[in-house]
């Protein structure tokens, strides 16, 4: 199975917005009733916001693929985690045409990606409140520190919406960090003949006056970056799996021939992964196979990954594995991205191993044989920096870290760790430190050295008896 995925070349690091980092960490702000402009993520200081959690997003979006105009209404049901005289949402571009907090108009201003809201009266700690934002404009993607595009990416027949790590704010106002997970209702209206696909279950679809409205519901908690609203001319296929999971596949006809044999395997891949990792975390599944060279990558959008082209089987296995690792168990800080990509990549190795391909050991050995100057060893995967979150070491050396763990603790303990990780953090978040403690608990071994070597030590690790 491929270990080097196609992804944009690494660009030079952009300087951290240090002032924002300080603001996010400033307790004086919170004491004064001001919600911080970020949750304090070291890779993306302005991502998310302080002072509240969003329980539910109700998004209503109309999009015209010809004019590329979007009209949106977002209703956020939230809870204050501190007294709030002021709080931020994340929104990139677009124009805000109306904003209310609990039905009262609220003052608001834009400051970069921060939409700063001053409600008419202060919100009490613990209070539930509702923010309604009307907005419109021509959305476009953001450029990430690594030079790749994410968010709302227009295509020749609609839009490819893949928002990891930052792009959710390009199409709806969000608390844009994986530590805040929410349920979603997403209602999308597009010209008749186009299909608009979001996450979860399709509640209904209706055509009137030349427009079709699709109503999607994502009940299990979801990080904002995993929401999608991918639009195009698609062929649709729907069925329910033996486990009762509702599958909805949408495929660009130009990709249909290549996609069909791979998509046919989706139910068996999900069953195989359920056996390894525990029950599939969601009630819905599927795929959107688009033609989106502008993106150049696939994304594990929750319940229904989006593919920029017909995927190969390895990529399908990879994005499916993310439903457990990344989507259900989300990272707490973007520096722990290997918890997503290392796990999904290692799942590809396991799939090969159990389906007549190379053993994971063989894949590990082949990677380990690459010279110390190779890209694979350019930086350790445990804290790669925002510009490197999708770099080769995060995927490949991240997977090697898991293989080293497996070798150290044995298969029994290793697979128990994978299942316990998925179960104990199901629909929540996790950190590398928590994984390490879990692995130590289940194996009875001291694993600090192994985690340090594979995740945090610079250069090609010296493989000792411990990991072979
Ligand atoms: N998580 C995706 C994967 O499974 C990659 C997303 C890449 N995103 C980006 N902005 N470059 O491989
Ligand atoms: Zn991935």
Give tens-digit pLDDT for 342-365: 999 999 999 999 999 999 999 999
Question: Do 18 and 330 form a contact (C-beta atoms < 8 A)?
Answer: no
List all residues 6 or more positions away from 154 whose beta carbon is below 8 Å from its beta carbon: 65, 68, 140, 294
Band (pLDDT 50/70/90 cuts) for residue 465 is very low
* pLDDT on residue 111: 96
Q: How far apart are CA 10 and CA 272, in angstroms?
A: 34
List, for residues 405-455, the tens digit of each pLDDT value: 999 999 999 999 999 999 999 999 999 999 999 999 999 999 999 999 999
* pLDDT on residue 24: 55
* pLDDT on residue 31: 77
Atom of ligand 1 nearest to the CA of 8: 11
Average pLDDT over residues 130-148: 97
List, for residues 183-207, the tens digit of each pLDDT value: 999 999 999 999 999 999 999 999 9
**H-helix or E-strand spanning residue 69:** strand 69-80
Ligand 2 centroid to residue 41 C-alpha, Å: 20
Average pLDDT over residues 64-85: 98
Model confidence at 3: pLDDT above 60: no
Average pLDDT over residues 109-121: 97
Average of per-residue pLDDT values in the chain: 94
Mutate which of 5, 142, 150, 164 for ligand 1? The one with the most ligand atoms within 8 Å of its CB, which is 164
Model confidence at 9: pLDDT above 50: no
In terms of pLDDT, which residue wins out, 1 or 314?
A: 314
Question: Do 35 and 86 form a contact (C-beta atoms < 8 A)?
Answer: yes
Q: How far apart are CA 428 and CA 330, in angstroms?
A: 6
* % of the chain surpassing 70 pLDDT: 93
Give me Rg for the CA atoms of the chain.
22
Atom of ligand 1 nearest to the CA of 318: 4
Band (pLDDT 50/70/90 cuts) for residue 169 is very high
Q: Which residues line ion ligand 2, judged by CB < 5 Å?
A: 341, 344
* pLDDT on residue 463: 83
Model confidence at 466: pLDDT above 90: no
Report whether residue 150 contacts ligand 1, using a CB cutoff of 6 Å.
yes
Question: Do 211 and 192 form a contact (C-beta atoms < 8 A)?
Answer: yes
* pLDDT on residue 287: 98
Average pLDDT over residues 225-254: 98
Q: How far apart are CA 122 and CA 358, in angstroms?
A: 60
Report whether residue 148 contacts ligand 1, using a CB cutoff of 6 Å.
yes
In this structure, what token pair is assigned to residue 58? 């109700």
Span 334-456 CATH architecture? Orthogonal Bundle (1.10)
> According to CATH, what is the number of the domain 2-311?
2.60.40.1730
Torsion angles phi and psi, residue 74, rounded to 5? -120, 130
Atom of ligand 1 nearest to the CA of 165: 10
* pLDDT on residue 395: 98
In terms of pLDDT, which residue wins out, 32 or 60?
A: 60
Could you state, in order of their start, the residue ranges of all structural domains in the chain? 2-311, 334-456
């Amino acid at each position: 199975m491929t270990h080097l995925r196609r992804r944009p070349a690494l660009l030079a690091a952009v300087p951290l917005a240090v002032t924002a980092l300080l603001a996010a960490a400033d307790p004086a702000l919170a004491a004064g009733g001001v919600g911080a402009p970020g949750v304090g993520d070291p890779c993306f200081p302005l991502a998310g916001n302080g002072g509240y959690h969003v329980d539910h997003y109700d998004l209503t979006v109309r999009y015209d693929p010809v004019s590329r105009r979007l009209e949106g209404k977002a209703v956020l049901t939230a809870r204050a985690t501190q007294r709030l005289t002021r709080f931020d949402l994340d929104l990139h571009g677009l124009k805000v045409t109306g904003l209310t907090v609990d039905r009262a108009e609220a003052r608001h201003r834009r400051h970069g990606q921060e939409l700063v809201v001053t409600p008419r009266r202060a919100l009490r700690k613990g209070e539930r409140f509702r923010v309604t934002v009307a907005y419109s404009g021509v959305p476009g993607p953001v450029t990430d520190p690594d030079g790749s595009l994410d968010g709302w990416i227009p295509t020749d027949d609609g839009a490819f919406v893949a928002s990891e790590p930052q792009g959710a704010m390009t199409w709806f106002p969000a608390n844009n960090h994986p530590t805040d997970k929410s349920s979603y209702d997403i209602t999308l209206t597009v010209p008749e003949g186009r299909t608009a696909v979001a996450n979860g279950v399709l509640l209904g679809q209706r055509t009137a006056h030349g427009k079709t409205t699709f109503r999607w519901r994502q009940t299990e908690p979801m990080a904002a970056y995993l929401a999608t609203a991918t639009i195009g001319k698609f062929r649709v296929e729907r069925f329910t799996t033996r486990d009762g999971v509702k599958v909805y596949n949408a495929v660009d006809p130009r990709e249909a021939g290549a996609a069909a044999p791979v998509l046919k395997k989706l139910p068996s891949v999900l069953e195989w992964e359920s056996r390894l990792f525990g029950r599939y975390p969601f009630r819905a599944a599927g795929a959107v196979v688009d033609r989106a060279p502008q993106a150049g990558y696939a994304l594990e959008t929750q319940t229904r990954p989006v593919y920029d082209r017909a995927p190969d089987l390895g990529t399908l296995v990879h994005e499916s594995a993310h439903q457990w690792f990344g989507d259900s168990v989300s990272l707490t800080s973007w520096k722990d991205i290997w918890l997503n990509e290392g796990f999904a990549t290692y799942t590809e190795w396991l799939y090969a191993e159990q389906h007549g391909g190379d053993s994971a050991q063989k894949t590990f050995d082949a990677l380990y044989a690459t010279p110390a100057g190779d890209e694979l060893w350019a930086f350790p995967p445990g804290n790669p920096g925002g510009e490197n979150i999708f770099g080769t070491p995060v995927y490949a050396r991240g997977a090697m870290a898991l293989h080293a763990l497996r070798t150290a603790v044995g298969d029994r303990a290793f697979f128990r760790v994978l299942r316990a990780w998925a179960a104990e953090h199901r629909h929540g978040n996790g950190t590398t430190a928590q994984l390490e403690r879990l692995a130590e608990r289940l194996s009875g071994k001291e694993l600090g050295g192994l985690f340090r070597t594979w995740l945090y030590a610079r250069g090609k690790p010296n493989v000792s008896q411990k990991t072979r």
